[in-house]
């Protein structure tokens, strides 16, 4: 994502009606109104201490996008720091021609190996705190509550 126009289209912009838009923003808004996503986020906060990789929302929160904390230059720096071969995992499934696949991977590796930053440290490699183990009860306000039906989750990790 190198062009300002791509950033506006992909992340966030104010549309002609004065409303918030953008692919990333819209995806986050839809997640923030999905009860399964809300419950899973809440459970992740319960079980995984702050700093654990699972304690973060990978796509960010719509409210953070609106704060306009992420400028295009910051996004470029983030991509340069983390989106490279030393921080990548490739998963292949299905019936594939192994030789063709390996040749393709090797050709891509030769194109991008020069973009690996010096002294790269993978994120989340420090010691992790133990998982949280306790009983909790939480209620998430949701529009469907007005309808008189609820979703119950019982989880044990």
**C-alpha span between 68 and 16 (Å, rounded):** 19
pLDDT score of 97:
95
Interacting residues of 127 by C-beta distance below 8 A, sequence separation 6+ = none
pLDDT score of 99:
96
pLDDT score of 2:
59
Note the residue count of the chain: 157
pLDDT score of 100:
95
- Residue identified by tokens 């953070």 is 64
3-state secondary structure (DSSP) of residue 39: helix
pLDDT score of 143:
67
Structural contact between residues 27 and 57, judged by C-beta atoms closer than 8 angstroms: no
Return per-residue pLDDT of the chain as tens, 157 residues: 557 777 667 777 777 888 877 777 788 888 887 888 888 888 888 888 777 888 877 777 777 777 665 677 777 888 788 888 888 888 999 999 999 999 999 998 888 888 888 888 877 777 767 777 777 777 777 666 555 556 666 666 6
- C-alpha closest to that of 10 among 57, 83, 60, 53: 60
Structural contact between residues 116 and 83, judged by C-beta atoms closer than 8 angstroms: no
pLDDT score of 10:
75
- C-alpha closest to that of 61 among 24, 7, 35, 36: 24
For residue 37 the two structure tokens come to 């996503």
Structural contact between residues 72 and 7, judged by C-beta atoms closer than 8 angstroms: yes
């Amino acid at each position: 994502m190198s062009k300002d126009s791509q950033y506006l289209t992909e992340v966030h912009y104010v549309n002609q009606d004065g409303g918030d838009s953008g692919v990333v923003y819209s995806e986050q808004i839809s997640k923030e109104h999905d009860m399964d996503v809300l419950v899973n986020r809440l459970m992740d906060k319960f079980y995984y201490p702050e700093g654990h990789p699972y304690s973060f929302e990978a796509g960010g929160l719509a409210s953070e996008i609106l704060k306009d904390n992420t400028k295009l230059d910051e996004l470029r720096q983030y991509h340069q720091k983390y989106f490279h071969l030393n921080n990548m995992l490739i998963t292949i499934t299905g019936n594939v021609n192994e030789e063709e696949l390996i040749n393709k991977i090797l050709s891509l590796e030769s194109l991008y190996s020069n973009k690996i930053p010096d002294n790269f440290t993978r994120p989340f490699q420090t010691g992790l705190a133990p998982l949280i183990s306790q009983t909790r009860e939480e209620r998430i306000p949701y529009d469907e509550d007005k309808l008189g039906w609820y979703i119950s989750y019982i989880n044990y990790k």
